[in-house]
Structure 1
Amino acid sequence: MKNVLVGATLALMAGAAPVFAEMTDIRFTLGWKTQGSDAPFLLALDKGYFEDEGLNVSIDQGEGSAATVTRIMGGAYDAGFGDINAIIQNAAARPGEAPVMVYQLWNRPPFAIVTPKTAGIENPEDFEGKTLGGAQGTPTTRLFPVFAEINGIDLDKVAQENMAPNLQEPMMIRGDIDGAFVFTSTSWFNLIANRQDPANDYNWFNFEDYGMDLYSNGMMVSRELLAENPEAVAGLVRAVNKATMEVSAKQDTSVEAIMAYDNLVDADLERARLEFALTNLMNAPEVTDIGMGDLVDERLTRSIEIVAKGYDLERLPEASEIFDRSFLPPVDERRFETTIN
């Protein structure tokens, strides 16, 4: 033990990372296949920020941002990148078992309804008499009844078709449906891949603009890790925060880290997706005051009520069950300014 302490002291004096007696293994799951928005985790891995915290982090691709929660609850993973709304759903049914969000990244939701301008849908009431398509069970689809209630839409006058996510944009382009329930960070680029102009030829009804003020993806950890190794949780948060601050200013470095993890991805596409996340999902006005990684409890409480209504939850979890800010570095270390270079 004495040699370990001496080694750590010498390393610190030399400006190097401390030597840990034993590295802590962390199994981490992404929300989906490798994407530009995963940059904070992949940059932390590539630059050794996890190792600097005494963490041996292995990162696997995901199966959906909601699946991150069930993967962690099942014991296969200790931490991951996923949707806070899925935590709410599971915490309502299984108190004390759902993972806890410890670093909020997407402080604006990607949930939206996209329609071709040729469909003539300019306002929410225009959805009446139209046909919308979406994958059953996704947040956008499940929360549409709440969206409709808030915005005075008669659900009986809106036809809805269930379909696989990969069919939504093609069917919309063909005119088989008038709009789709989507994640903006995915659909925007699916449209581009189909030689469409998402900015000029489509209308986007972002849920946050229509009374659905929700949070979305961030880093969550298991209850077991939280209870048994809070030092590891703190290290994870410090490493990801350090990488996030770097990602916000250096997209080139971020894309290099993404390619180092998965050299099969399209570098230009994922850089564009990263820039989309930075400018559309990670820049809520509140970040100026509270910093990246944190959230506003009152806003989270309102979002819990929205999710509870959309998913018919029998219990309203407390905000403290969903999010734990105690591991966040000081706010001055989490000042977030997006620079697209």
Structure 2
Amino acid sequence: MAVVPSGRTGRGAVAGAVLGALLAASAGCGGDAGADGRSLTKVTYRGPFVAGGGDAPLYYADELGYFEEEGLDVEIRDSKGSAQTVTDVANGGSDFGMAAATNLIMSIGRGQPVVGAATYLGRSSFGFFVPKDAGITSIKDLRGRSIAVSALVEQNMYAALAAAGLAKSDVKAVVADANALVTTYVSGKADAMYTVQYFLPRTSRRPSEVLLQSAAGFNPPDYVLVVAKKTLRDRPQLVRAFARATLRGFQAAAKDPGAAVEALTAEHPELDPKQSRGVLEAVLRFRCAPAQSGRPYGENAPADWTSTVTALKRTAGLRGPADARRYFDNGLFENGGGLGTGTC
């Protein structure tokens, strides 16, 4: 499986796919020295997609020195989707990753030795894109319609439809490659599209609105920190350090999204800053779900994980255990009073 570095690492960065792979293999070894002369621990992180506005908090955390404060030198890598990220972390290709909770749950159900250690985005951003002039005002109105969806999340879509009272047979799925999904919808090859709300700026040629699945009562945690169970068991302080730095990055980006986008585009000048900011601001609105209200930012909401596992067992063929706590771990928050990253 190809590893595609994003070109950005921590302050002691080195570039190159081959060298990046060597670093991944030696994660935990001493890295370059930080500003105070301490040796930094090299770790690798794989995001959920190709670098974009939603990744700005990670780059901003680096720019603000949060990783260095934790003694970390982080290499940030791209991904072609959550499934690739989960598999990479499970196989030891990367130390940490960010992936959709539904993909993580299904992967654990297939035996992947990983777990969700924190929740970056607790309110589900997945929903159904519909043209503004289509007269579709609720998910129930999708009965008899065609829906563009990627194969990776097709089963999740059926769980969302079921929450709204629709069966799989009530719609026609138009399965498209993840990279061609928006094009398929915008070109009119499907009446609707199921994906994350963050893609809304990319549908300007077909003005749309998003019917969020959370409005129908289906709220899987959106994007979570993925780590191998062995790493969490054997190196909890390393996981704590990475989680704290990245969660602080999200909180800082919420306070100054413009600065966060500048940190991103400094390393990815090919990205449109205006579009990246639009995506980032959309992402940040999903940081906390109602079930996390008043709880430490990043703590997993057991109720949302439980309802998600139940739904995926009913509609998506989840083969894993019914106990939701087999899919997430709140140890980082239960031990030592949390991570000091604020509250929801």
TM-score by length of 2: 0.81
Query: 2:24 corresponds to which residue?
Result: none
Distance in 2 between residues matched to 1:308 and 1:154, nearest whole Å? 15
**CA root-mean-square deviation:** 2.4
Distance in 2 between residues matched to 1:227 and 1:332, nearest whole Å? 17
Q: Deviations over 1:149-198 (max 9, x none)?
A: 33333543422222234544444444432111222112x02113x3x43x
Query: 2:122 corresponds to which residue?
Result: 107
Query: 1:334 corresponds to which residue?
Result: 341
Distance in 1 between residues matched to 2:170 and 2:232, nearest whole Å? 47
Q: Answer whether contact 2:176 2:184 (CA < 8 A) is retained.
A: no
CA positional deviation for 1:143: 2.4
Match of 1:134 among 128, 137, 149: 149
Query: 1:319 corresponds to which residue?
Result: 324
What amino acid sits opposite 2:219 in the alignment?
A: D
Q: Answer whether contact 2:116 2:328 (CA < 8 A) is retained.
A: yes
Percent sequence identity is: 21
Cα 1:85–1:129, aligned 2, differ >3 Å: closer, same or farther? Answer: closer
Match of 1:91 among 108, 113, 123: 108
Query: 2:201 corresponds to which residue?
Result: 189
Cα 1:322–1:17, aligned 2, differ >3 Å: closer, same or farther? Answer: farther
Q: Is 1:34–2:51 an aligned residue pair?
A: yes
For 1:204, what is the secondary structure of its paired residue? strand
Moved more, 121-130 or 291-300: 121-130
Cα 1:252–1:170, aligned 2, differ >3 Å: closer, same or farther? Answer: closer
Distance in 1 between residues matched to 2:284 and 2:169, nearest whole Å? 37
Cα 1:232–1:162, aligned 2, differ >3 Å: closer, same or farther? Answer: same
Distance in 2 between residues matched to 1:154 and 1:277, nearest whole Å? 29
What amino acid sits opposite 1:189 in the alignment?
A: P
Match of 1:241 among 228, 247, 271: 247
Query: 1:7 corresponds to which residue?
Result: none
Q: Is 1:56–2:73 an aligned residue pair?
A: yes
CA positional deviation for 1:312: 0.3
Distance in 2 between residues matched to 1:331 and 1:145, nearest whole Å? 35
Cα 1:308–1:98, aligned 2, differ >3 Å: closer, same or farther? Answer: farther
Cα 1:17–1:53, aligned 2, differ >3 Å: closer, same or farther? Answer: farther
Distance in 2 between residues matched to 1:157 and 1:52, nearest whole Å? 53
Distance in 2 between residues matched to 1:83 and 1:207, nearest whole Å? 14
Distance in 1 between residues matched to 2:191 and 2:166, nearest whole Å? 16
Q: Answer whether contact 2:261 2:277 (CA < 8 A) is retained.
A: yes
Q: Is 1:306–2:311 an aligned residue pair?
A: yes
For 1:63, what is the secondary structure of its paired residue? coil
Distance in 2 between residues matched to 1:330 and 1:261, nearest whole Å? 35
Distance in 1 between residues matched to 2:76 and 2:168, nearest whole Å? 42
Q: Is 1:216–2:231 an aligned residue pair?
A: no
For 1:268, what is the secondary structure of its paired residue? helix
Query: 2:175 corresponds to which residue?
Result: 162
What amino acid sits opposite 2:340 in the alignment?
A: E
Q: Is 1:207–2:220 an aligned residue pair?
A: no
CA positional deviation for 1:217: 0.5
Query: 1:228 corresponds to which residue?
Result: 234
Cα 1:302–1:230, aligned 2, differ >3 Å: closer, same or farther? Answer: same
Query: 2:18 corresponds to which residue?
Result: none
CA positional deviation for 1:208: 0.7
5+ residue gaps in structure 2? 1-33
Q: Answer whether contact 1:122 1:203 (CA < 8 A) is retained.
A: no
What amino acid sits opposite 1:144 in the alignment?
A: M
Higher relative contact order (CA 8 A, sep 6+): 1
Query: 1:11 corresponds to which residue?
Result: none
Query: 2:164 corresponds to which residue?
Result: 151
Q: Answer whether contact 2:309 2:322 (CA < 8 A) is retained.
A: yes
Moved more, 324-333 or 141-150: 324-333
Distance in 1 between residues matched to 2:160 and 2:241, nearest whole Å? 39
Query: 2:28 corresponds to which residue?
Result: none
CA positional deviation for 1:232: 1.0
For 1:327, what is the secondary structure of its paired residue? helix
Distance in 1 between residues matched to 2:282 and 2:318, nearest whole Å? 32
Q: Answer whether contact 1:112 1:204 (CA < 8 A) is retained.
A: yes
What amino acid sits opposite 1:191 in the alignment?
A: T
TM-score by length of 1: 0.82
Q: Deviations over 1:103-146 (max 9, x none)?
A: 211111121111113333233343223222222232xx212333
Bigger strand share:
2
